[in-house]
Amino acid sequence: MTHPEPALPPMPQGVTISPEPPTGAALDLLFQRHHQAMHADTPPESIHMMPREALVSPQIAFFVLREGDQPQAMGALKDLGGGLAEIKSMHVLAETRGRGLSRLLLRHMIAIARQRGFSRLSLETGAQPSFAAARRLYASEGFAECPPFGDYRPDPNSTFMTLSLD
């Protein structure tokens, strides 16, 4: 019995989510803000953000959410092998938060992960209060806390979460 491909979530008028190379100059502000946010209250040894150039890889699908032609959010799916994928570099510009764009991007990446046949989607995010909204978003979409995965080790500044896609 074949199952239909999971549908991508509908987009509001003027919003698109597309694969793009992470190297485009139009994404500079997103990467600057992401870098600032990660370094704001996280010790350097606990920052697991990938360098921008490292996001250019056959194992990584990088997505940009735009309103019109303006990039507002980004996120990536990294193939960890064995049916496992990880969400990396998810960031939404602060001035556009509270409008559901992060949820749209997250649901899009979950749907893409399902389409690509991954059985599990995991992520690492901060344990600090500044990451509470992100943790709530992930939990509201079915992610649950889990032990470190892949190359991660226990870290008091990290929260690890996972979602079964089966």
Is residue 90 within 8 A of residue 75, CB to CB? The reply is yes
| pTM (predicted TM-score) | 0.90
What integer pLDDT is reported at residue 160 of this predicted model? 97
Each residue's pLDDT expressed in tens, for the chain with a length of 166 residues: 444 555 676 777 889 999 999 999 999 999 899 888 777 887 778 778 788 999 999 999 999 999 999 999 999 999 999 999 999 989 999 899 888 999 999 999 999 999 999 999 999 999 999 999 999 999 999 999 999 999 999 999 999 999 999 8
